[in-house]
């Protein structure tokens, strides 16, 4: 069977090699006579999976021993709550940059926990750009500054990260592992796995160890970073199958030559689609401001609703999956995460050109 031309925003395409490897081991993992999801999470073979996933991520992202890597559940969305619950102590302020729907959701949860402040926003411009952030105005009493590195829905991405003198917290759900960056710049990074790291069900949290002391004993155990870290994310049963697949995706990423190599391909992929938009003489209209364009989610519109509809219907017929924009904004969006092959991106660009010629 042919694989779909998958441009889903998340859950999204996984590398074919990863799926084949998982399939091969489904009934008998490493001679155990059991699939990974049948193993005890306290057994040696599972522990090896758990620890090599962690070690691989540390290696790929160059994560120093000043940080802990956690594998949690509840998606990136639970982190919207866990971050303020653990880090936003009573005397402090959680500072948020609003750059899209996910950052708004993160703020909304923090408002239930403590004091917050919006320190920059591009909401009034329809989130077409990453907002300008004046770091001088950040309250020295801030608990942290929260940003969303890639705005999955609007298709914008921070091109470089702000220098702040309080812990920088980043939702990297939709661009982690897609480009090199310096982890040391951050206090906490989190990412639901289902875009660039694996299947849904596991959320990666990279937290600077010195922040763990902020977690109060009064927190629910499962929501306490310090306890999760102390127990190596094995306080309770972790999502073992999701972590196994994460490990396979990380091995795949290493085999591609690591993050820098992957970033090069991602740049090429994004350029193919943005060129198709820019060279269309206004037939396709990119949503994001040019200086804020995402290399992961390419958002665009056609001139009318009818054209948008016709484009999406014919794209679907031609075998392209997931090209419709998010239900909250409409239009078109092609998500081109690490696992989306460049050939599929070329096919989409070709389809865009042919569609334009027809209309
Ligand atoms: C998908 C996404 C989320 C939501 O992730 P869940 O795992 O579904 O909670 C949050 N933030 C960003 C940037 C996303 O792309």
Region of residue 116 (phi > 0: left; psi between -120 and 50: alpha; otherwise: beta): beta
How is residue 332 written in tokens? 């078109």
Query: What is the CB-side half-sphere exposure of residue 355 using CA atoms within 13 A?
Result: 24
Section 127-138 average pLDDT = 93
Which residues does 142 contact at the CB level (< 8 Å), separation at least 6? 92, 93, 94, 95, 117, 166
Distance 303 CA to ligand 1 centre (A): 29
| Low-confidence winner among 211-215, 218-222, 329-333, 343-347 (lowest mean pLDDT) | 329-333
Residue 65 annotated to the active site: no
Distance 108 CA to ligand 1 centre (A): 14
Of 241, 255, 246, the residue nearest 29 (C-alpha): 241
CB of residue 294 inside a 6 A radius of ligand 1: no
Section 212-232 average pLDDT = 98
Q: Give the pLDDT band of residue 137 (cuts 50, 70, 90).
A: confident
> Rounded CA gap, 359 and 349, in Å?
16
Give the pTM. 0.98
- Which protein residue's CA is at the shortest distance from atom 4 of ligand 1? 76
CB of residue 102 inside a 6 A radius of ligand 1: yes
Distance 343 CA to ligand 1 centre (A): 26
Q: If you count them, how many residues does the chain have?
A: 359
Q: Give the pLDDT band of residue 358 (cuts 50, 70, 90).
A: very high
User: Residues of the chain with pLDDT > 90: what percent?
Assistant: 97
Q: Give the pLDDT band of residue 311 (cuts 50, 70, 90).
A: very high
Residue 195 annotated to the active site: yes
Whether the per-residue pLDDT at 66 is higher than 90: the answer is yes
């Amino acid at each position: 069977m042919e694989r779909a031309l998958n441009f889903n925003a998340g859950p999204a395409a996984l590398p074919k090699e990863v799926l084949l490897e998982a399939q091969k081991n489904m009934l008998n993992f490493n001679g155990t006579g059991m699939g990974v999801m049948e193993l005890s999470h306290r057994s040696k073979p599972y522990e090896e999976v758990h620890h090599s996933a962690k070690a691989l991520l540390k290696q790929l992202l160059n994560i120093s021993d000043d940080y802990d890597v956690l594998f949690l559940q509840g998606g990136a969305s639970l982190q919207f709550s866990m971050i303020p619950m653990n880090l936003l102590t009573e005397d402090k302020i959680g500072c948020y940059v609003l750059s899209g729907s996910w950052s708004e959701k993160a703020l909304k949860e923090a408002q239930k926990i403590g004091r917050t402040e919006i320190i920059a926003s591009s909401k009034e411009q329809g989130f077409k750009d990453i907002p300008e952030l004046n770091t001088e105005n950040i309250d020295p009493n801030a608990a942290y500054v929260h940003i969303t590195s890639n705005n999955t829905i609007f298709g914008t991405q921070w091109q470089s990260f702000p220098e702040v003198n309080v812990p920088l917290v980043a939702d990297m759900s939709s661009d982690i592992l897609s480009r090199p960056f310096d982890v040391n710049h951050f206090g906490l990074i989190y990412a639901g796995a289902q875009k660039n790291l694996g299947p849904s069900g596991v959320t990666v949290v990279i937290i600077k160890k010195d922040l763990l002391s902020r977690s109060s004993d009064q927190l629910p155990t499962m929501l306490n970073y310090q306890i999760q870290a102390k127990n190596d994310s094995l306080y309770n049963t972790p999502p073992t199958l999701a972590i196994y697949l994460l490990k396979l995706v990380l091995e795949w990423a290493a085999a591609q030559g690591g993050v820098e190599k992957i970033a090069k391909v991602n740049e090429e992929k994004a350029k193919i689609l943005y060129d198709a938009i820019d060279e269309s003489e206004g037939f396709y209209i990119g949503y994001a401001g040019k200086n804020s364009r995402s290399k992961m989610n390419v958002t665009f519109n056609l001139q009318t609703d009818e054209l948008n509809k016709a484009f999406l219907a014919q794209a679907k017929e031609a075998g392209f999956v997931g090209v419709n924009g998010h239900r909250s904004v409409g239009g078109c969006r092609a998500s081109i995460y690490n696992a989306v092959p460049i050939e599929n991106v070329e096919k989409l660009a070709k389809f865009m050109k042919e569609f334009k010629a027809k209309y």
